Structure 1
Amino acid sequence: MANIKIHFLGAAGTVTGSKYYLETPVMNIMIDCGMFQGLKELRSQNWQPLPIQADKIGIVLLTHGHLDHTGYLPRLVKEGFKGQIIGTAPTLSITAIILRDSAKIHEEEAEQANKMGYSSHDPALPFYTLREAERAIDLFQAEEKDQWVSLSDTIKYRFRFNGHIIGATFIELEILGKLFVFSGDIGRKVDALMDAPERPQWADFLFLESTYGNRLHPQENVEEIVIGLVERTIHEKGQLIIPSFAVERLQSLIYLFWNLYKKNRIPNIPIYVDSPMGNNVLSVFENYPQWHKLSMSEYKAMCNHVNIITSYADTWKTIDDPRPKIVIAGSGMITGGRVLTYLNQLIDEPATTVLLVGYMAEGTRGRQLLEGAHELKFFGKYHPVKAQVAHLESLSAHADQQELLDWLKEIKNIPERVFLIHGEPTALDAFRTKIRDSYRWNVHIPKLYEVVEIVI
């Protein structure tokens, strides 16, 4: 018999900060290494050292490149981790882009906070620097999907395609003959850019995301809604501002607007893409065509249809341009990024429309807008919200409750335990009940920093 300890170091009782640490008799493994976002009490956890020894971790396996799954990597290295960080090639490309961009934002925000004096810390420090991000990137090693990779005589893993974003996978990790399955973030059955996720056939211990564990995506007519927003923007001589994640969401939006124009459903309204990170992600789509649905001709046509902003000076030129326009800018939940520069100038204009796309986590400005906030705080000041706020939930890259249940259908055995992760409390509780009613499986909702011991 052998004991395996599982440490839930993130995305336990919340949707951010995915980090799972497995202590085994042979080696110690971390699955994902994300940073917390959203609520202040969660973000403050980022600054606390992990309750484990980073130098004892043998390897980190990444499901995909999003910040809430990778953003703690530079801190992990700073705390002493020296092993390999492994993912698929596009996942590591995305992660490198996100870490570099995040580091620059941390450095710029610290500099601005010190200059304007609105931080409670003196001096304000970046969460990590570009140099620290590069130290983590130096540890990257790519592996192919669908191929078992041995870490020892008794431990092996493989990556399986999972939709969601380019490069995303779920991880099958076999330890001493038992199969641990980490779902990562599960994509949609029908997606403009990604194929449907593959499904696991066996799982002794299942770690299952629950972002939409209590909801079904609405049956929205996305094209008609977007057409209406474009028509309003033109009629009001306003601006349609879309906060967007740089990975998959931004590319999906570009594809959507290009498709509508190609079908003569919208006029040739100027479209600006202002996300340095998103621009870099477009090159990942070009470098890994086998990971998405677009042909190269479609990819080039949709990129040529938009104006890609490459400098901060061009950001201000775009803001000063009085013509009606569409602006797609980072970040998706309005937690930072270029979109704040646009909102700083335009959120108090009734002719402005802010279109929120997908999931808005607790504590983010996106969630505040969604819930009808009359003002938003950023750059140390409160800004009145006079813009119209719209929401498209069906463009989410996350599976909804029914799609999550369908993802489980091909599992042939009864898992010994199912751990529900990456969800807010109401979603976790509703999904636990649904799984028990549907499959009669043993479901556990771990708490943050809980340690579960498994005897094999």
Structure 2
Amino acid sequence: MNKIKIHFLGAAGTVTGSKFYLETPEQNILVDCGMFQGLKELREINWQPLPIDVSKVDCVLLTHGHLDHTGYLPRLVKEGFHGEIIGTSPTLAITAIILRDSAKIHMEEAERANEEAYSKHRPAIPYYTLEEAEKTLGMFKHAEKDEWLFLSENIRFRFRYNGHIIGATFIELELFGKLFVFSGDVGRREDPLLYSPDRPEWADYLFLESTYGNKLHPEEKVGDILSSLIAKTINEGGNLIIPSFAVERLQTLMYLLWTLYKENKIPNIPIFIDSPMGNNVLSVFEAYPQWHKLSLKEYRAMCDHFNIITSYGDTWKTIDNPRPKVVIAGSGMVTGGRVLTYLKQLVDRDATTVLLVGYQAEGTRGRQLLEGAHEIKLFGKYIPVKAEIHHLESLSAHADQGELLHWLKEVKNIPENTFLIHGEPSALDAFRVKIKDSLGWKVQVPHLQEVLELTI
């Protein structure tokens, strides 16, 4: 008999901070290594050392490259990790882009906080530096999808295609003959750019994301909504600002807007892409065409249609440009990035429209705007919100409840336990009841820092 200890170090009872640590007799494995985002009490956990001996972690397996699945990696290295960080090639390419970008933002924010003295920390220090991020990238090891790889005599794993973002996978981890399945973030069945997710056929222990465990995405006519908002922007001589995640959401928006233009459903309004990270992600789409639906010819024609901003100086030129325009800028939940500069200058104008796309976590500015906040805090100052706020939920890269249940339907056995992760409490509880009632499975909702011991 073998004892396995599972530490729920993140994404337990909340959506972000994905970290699941498995102590086994042969290998100690960390599945994902993300940062907490959103509520202040969660973000503060990012600054605390992990409650494990990090030097004993043998490897990290990454489901995909998003910050809430990879953003803690440089801190892990700082705390003494010296093993391998394993992911698919596009996942590691995305992770490298995100960690470098994140490090630059942390360094810039610390510098600005020190100059303007709005941080309570004296001096403010970056969460990690570019040098620390680069050291982390040196530990990357690429793995092919669908290929079983052994970590030790009785432990092997493989990555399987999962939609969501380019490179994303779910992980099948076999420990001493038992199959542990980590869903990562499950993608949509009808994604404009990505293929439908593969589905697991067996799971002894299942770790299942529940971001939309209590919801079905609305049937929205996305093209009509975008066309209508662009017409309004032109008529009012204003700005349509779309905060967007740099990975996947940005490329999806570009594809939808380019298609609308080709079909003469929108005029040739200037559309600015202001996301240095997003520009780098576009190169990943070019490098890994087998991971998405676009041909190289379509991809290049699409990119040529947009005004892609590369310098911060051009950000200000775009803001000062009086013409009606569309600006797509990071970040998707308005937690950082170039979109903050646009909102600081333009969110207090009646002719501005802000279109939020996808999930807005608790404690983020995106959620505040969604819930009708009359002001938001940007760079230490409160700015009145006079812009009109809209929300497109159907562009989410996460499967909804129906799609998650469909994802489970290929599982031929009844798992010994299903752990619901990556969800806010209301979503977790609703999904727990749904799975129990519809499938009859044993379902558990672990809490943050919970440690479970299994004998297998």
Q: 1:312 matched to which residue of 2?
A: 312
Asked if 1:350 is matched to 2:350, the reply is yes
In the TM superposition, residue 153 of structure 1 has moved relative to its aligned partner by 1.1
TM-score in terms of structure 2 length? 1.00
Cα deviation digits, residues 73-130 of structure 1 (max 9, x gap):
0000000000000000000000000000000000000000010010011111110000
Matches within 5 A, 1:233-252: 233-252=233-252
Cα deviation digits, residues 367-403 of structure 1 (max 9, x gap):
0000000000010000000000000000000000000
Q: 1:79 matched to which residue of 2?
A: 79
Letter in 1 for 2:13: G
Matches within 5 A, 1:284-363: 284-363=284-363
Superposed CA RMSD: 0.4
CA distance in 2, matches of 1:142, 1:152: 18
Matches within 5 A, 1:164-243: 164-243=164-243
In the TM superposition, residue 317 of structure 1 has moved relative to its aligned partner by 0.5
Cα deviation digits, residues 282-317 of structure 1 (max 9, x gap):
000000000000001110011000000000010000
CA distance in 2, matches of 1:242, 1:231: 15
CA distance in 2, matches of 1:222, 1:27: 47
Letter in 2 for 1:163: G
Q: Secondary structure at the match of 2:355?
A: strand
Q: Secondary structure at the match of 1:151?
A: strand
Letter in 2 for 1:285: F
Cα deviation digits, residues 248-305 of structure 1 (max 9, x gap):
0000000010000000000000000000000000000000000000001110011000
Q: 2:15 matched to which residue of 1?
A: 15
Q: 1:98 matched to which residue of 2?
A: 98
CA distance in 2, matches of 1:318, 1:78: 39
Cα deviation digits, residues 186-226 of structure 1 (max 9, x gap):
00000000000000000000000000000000011111111
CA distance in 1, matches of 2:391, 2:300: 28
Q: Secondary structure at the match of 2:173?
A: strand
Structure 1 runs of 4+ aligned residues shifted over 2 Å read: none
Cα deviation digits, residues 53-74 of structure 1 (max 9, x gap):
1110000000000000000000
CA distance in 2, matches of 1:131, 1:116: 25
Q: Secondary structure at the match of 2:419?
A: strand
Q: Secondary structure at the match of 1:369?
A: helix
Q: 2:409 matched to which residue of 1?
A: 409
Gaps of 5+ in 1: none
Letter in 1 for 2:437: D
CA distance in 2, matches of 1:16, 1:378: 22
CA distance in 2, matches of 1:7, 1:192: 36
In the TM superposition, residue 161 of structure 1 has moved relative to its aligned partner by 0.2
Q: 1:279 matched to which residue of 2?
A: 279
CA distance in 2, matches of 1:222, 1:20: 36
Q: Secondary structure at the match of 1:218?
A: coil
Number of aligned residue pairs: give it: 456
Gaps of 5+ in 2: none
Q: Secondary structure at the match of 2:152?
A: coil
Letter in 2 for 1:156: R
Q: Secondary structure at the match of 2:206?
A: strand
Asked if 1:450 is matched to 2:447, the reply is no
Q: 1:59 matched to which residue of 2?
A: 59
